Amino acid sequence: MGCESNNATPPGPAIAPGGESLDSMRIAEEIASGRYRGWSRGVDPRIPEAVPGFDAPFFQAGLAGYSDAAMRIIARRHGCPYCVTEALLDRTLLAGGRGFGKADLGELHDNVPGGAEDQPLAVQIMGSDPREMAASALKAIEQGKRPDRAYRAIAYAHLTHDPSGAVVRHTPEDFGPADGEYEEVSCGEEAMCESEATGHGRWPMSEEQREVTETRRHEVAPSGSSPVLSSLRDAASAAGSGFSSLSFSTVDVNLACPVKKIKSKARGGHWLAEPAGAIEILEAVREAVPARIPCTVKLRRSYDDSPEMVESFQRIFDAAYDMGYAWATVHARTVEQKYVGPSRWDLLREIVARRPDRVVFGSGDIWSVHDVFRMIAYTGVAGVSVARGCIGNPWIFRQARMMLAGQRPTPPTIAEQRGVLEEHYRLALAANRRMRHPDDYTSRNMRKFGIRFAEHHPESERVRLRFIAVKGIEEWQRVLDEHYSPR
Ligand SMILES: Cc1cc2nc3c(=O)[nH]c(=O)nc-3n(C[C@H](O)[C@H](O)[C@H](O)COP(=O)(O)O)c2cc1C
């Protein structure tokens, strides 16, 4: 289980009193004309300034179990300007591979940048410890340029001094299982895979590359300063040059996921109830990541609806911008709400109105292209994170581009649906090629996409049932031949 919840309520409108009458076509036209809030190129200029190439006011959200390189590339081919990986646990990143027994979030191999076509891309990290978050953010941005143990030394630098103040040299055992809860594993072949989707994904690095770049600098903190912060600073400055241009463009810190705590530690959205800890994480990550890489944060609108929690949200939100975060994406549900019931665009509007000078993205109940433009106009956000509304529906991005070009959005034809189903499968198979049974894995994994793609088909229920029963590539092809062929 990832960031999703099994008892999510079916698609429905957000709470947005007075928003029913908003004309999405007119809003899109106004944005495109350059009259809207001075967005001369159809987007708040601060967005492409922070992330070159992010040229429209919408993006594809992190979606655990879905938003892998294949889904992202399909979205981009339909006009999506920016994507976020699913949430990756800091310790998964630091451990460097698969087989992370209790990880309930994304696998590394699903989140390798899919080459030149998969840019710009944000890596989303989530965890419980500021140092681990900082070290894993740096590792992601550097694409594992240093040996794994160097990142772990950054994360656990506080272990490098014994009680007399002498430096203690790390051994791999120092970085063994934490609390007996996590299983440390070496980097499996799947985690090492390059994304064949476009042939450029390259994270983590090979052992050979690691040896070449090996350094012990982070095992010894300079005296007279905080070992944690100085090693983070050191690491950040060392990262100033030489990381892959096909790396992640942004680090997104997840303070939103409602999945329960690990042991008694907070993570994701649970940090919204502990603002001091949340702020510490934000600081540590911003400190570690090179200054030219923007950091952003994903939040829920509050932990719950109590005045105390609303105040905590504001504290974290303000602190993020004060320390230089480029933007926050705010999911307009509470953590307590998980995915049950409507999101509150009216409250999101209040959050934006409190500091209209800030770049804020909105999330929640974006089910159609019209919701994208309605949310922008109703809440005042600078852009929209498209989540469940783009699973099996990359056309939402094409439609948004059409509306920005002054055209009425059109639904996908059967031929277009078939084209995307074939392409998505091909990309997924390429990305999974180093799996032990790539066909089986891809067929099983693609079922959940097929089920959502079926919603566009005139015989959606029949096609949905066919996709549910798919067990291999031949059956997948048969469904396409029988239901997606010209009549
Ligand atoms: C299956 C699923 C997985 C998700 N995974 C993530 C994730 O990894 N990172 C994240 O920031 N949000 C995640 N979310 C939350 C979405 O990005 C989004 O904020 C939320 O679904 C609200 O938008 P919607 O109502 O338009 O779907 C996930 C949501 C779902 C349904």
Return the higher-pLDDT residue of 259 and 387. 387
Residue owning the nearest CA to atom 14 of ligand 1? 63
Q: What is the pLDDT of residue 2?
A: 65
Q: How far is the CA of 388 from the centre of ligand 1 (A)?
A: 7
**Ligand 1 atom closest to residue 343's alpha carbon, by position in its atom list:** 25
pLDDT of 110-160, one tens digit each? 777 778 899 999 999 999 999 999 999 999 998 888 888 888 888 886 545
Q: Tell me the CATH class for 19-408.
A: alpha beta
Catalytic one of 80, 83, 257, 295: 257
Q: Identify which of 63, 254, 379 to mutate to test ligand 1's pocket (most ligand atoms within 8 A of the CB).
A: 63
Domain range summary for the chain, segments of one domain joined by +: 19-408, 416-483
Residue 134 in contact with residue 232, Cβ under 8 Å?
yes
More confident residue, 161 or 261: 261
Mean pLDDT for the chain overall? 82
63 CA distance to ligand 1 middle (Å): 5
> Quick one: pLDDT band at residue 262, thresholds 50, 70, 90?
low
Active-site residue, 390 included: no
Question: Taking a C-beta distance cutoff of 8 angstroms, is the pair 218, 157 a contact?
Answer: yes
User: pLDDT category, 7, cuts 50, 70, 90?
Assistant: low
Per cent of the chain over pLDDT 70 is 77
- The pLDDT tens digits of the residues spanning 355-396 come to 999 999 999 999 999 999 999 999 999 999 999 999 999 999
Ligand 1 atom with minimal separation from the 8 CA = 31
What pLDDT does 214 receive?
A: 31
- Across the strands, what pairs with 362? 330, 384
- Please tell me the predicted confidence (pLDDT) of residue 107: 66
What is the chain's alpha carbon radius of gyration, rounded to the nearest angstrom? Answer: 22
Contact by Cβ (8 Å): 146, 213: yes
Question: Average pLDDT in the 440-468 region?
Answer: 96
What average pLDDT score do residues 250-256 get?
A: 98
Predicted confidence at residue 322, as pLDDT, reads 98
pLDDT at 468 over 90: yes
Instruction: Look at 7 and 285; give whichever has higher pLDDT.
Output: 285
Instruction: Say what the pLDDT of residue 205 is.
Output: 33
Q: For residues 279 and 286, is the Cβ–Cβ distance under 8 A?
A: no
Give whichever of 141-150, 174-183, 211-220, 292-301 has the largest mean pLDDT: 292-301
pLDDT of res. 483: 98
% of the chain exceeding 90 in pLDDT: 65
* pLDDT higher than threshold 60 for residue 246: yes
Decide if pLDDT at 166 tops 70. no
pLDDT of residue 378: 98
Mutation test residue for ligand 1: of 388, 445, 448, 449, the one with most atoms within 8 Å of CB: 388
At residue 430, the pLDDT reads 87
- Quote the pTM value: 0.84
Whether residue 76 is predicted with pLDDT greater than 90 in this model: the reply is: yes
Work out whether the CA dihedral 473, 474, 475, 481 comes out positive or negative: positive
Contact 278, 285 (CB under 8 A): no
Tell which atom from ligand 1 comes closest to the C-alpha of 331.
Answer: 19
Residue with tokens 């939402």: 396
Distance 127 CA to ligand 1 centre (A): 17
For residue 48, what pLDDT band results from cuts at 50, 70 and 90?
very high
Taking only the tens place, the pLDDT of each residue in 185-238 is 222 222 222 233 333 343 443 333 333 223 222 222 223 333 333 434 443 343
* Closest C-alpha residue for ligand 1 atom 21: 387
- Phi, psi angles (nearest 5°) of residue 281: -65, -45
**Residue 263's pLDDT is what?**
67
Mean of pLDDT values over 91-106:
56
pLDDT at 190: 26
Alpha-carbon span 231 to 234, nearest angstrom = 5
Least confident of 251-265, 333-347, 371-385, 441-455: 251-265
Whats the size of the chain, residue-wise? 487
Give helix 414-431 / helix 69-77 axis angle, nearest 10°: 140
Q: Which residue has the higher pLDDT, 240 or 338?
A: 338
Query: Which tokens go with 460?
Result: 């959606």
Is the confidence at residue 447, as pLDDT, over 80? yes
Q: Which residues face 375 on adjacent strands?
A: none
**pLDDT confidence of residue 106:** 61
Q: What pLDDT does 160 receive?
A: 52
67 Cα: distance to centroid of ligand 1 (angstroms): 10
Q: What is the pLDDT of residue 58?
A: 98
Among 68, 124, 299, 363, the mutation site with the greatest number of ligand 1 atoms within 8 A of its Cβ is: 363
Q: In Å, how far are 132, 250, 376, 386 from 74, measured between CA atoms? A: 32, 20, 24, 14
What average pLDDT does range 28-42 have in this prediction? 94
**CA–CA dist 414, 347 (Å, integer):** 39
Q: Select the more confidently predicted residue: 271 or 93.
A: 271
**pLDDT score of 109 more than 50:** yes
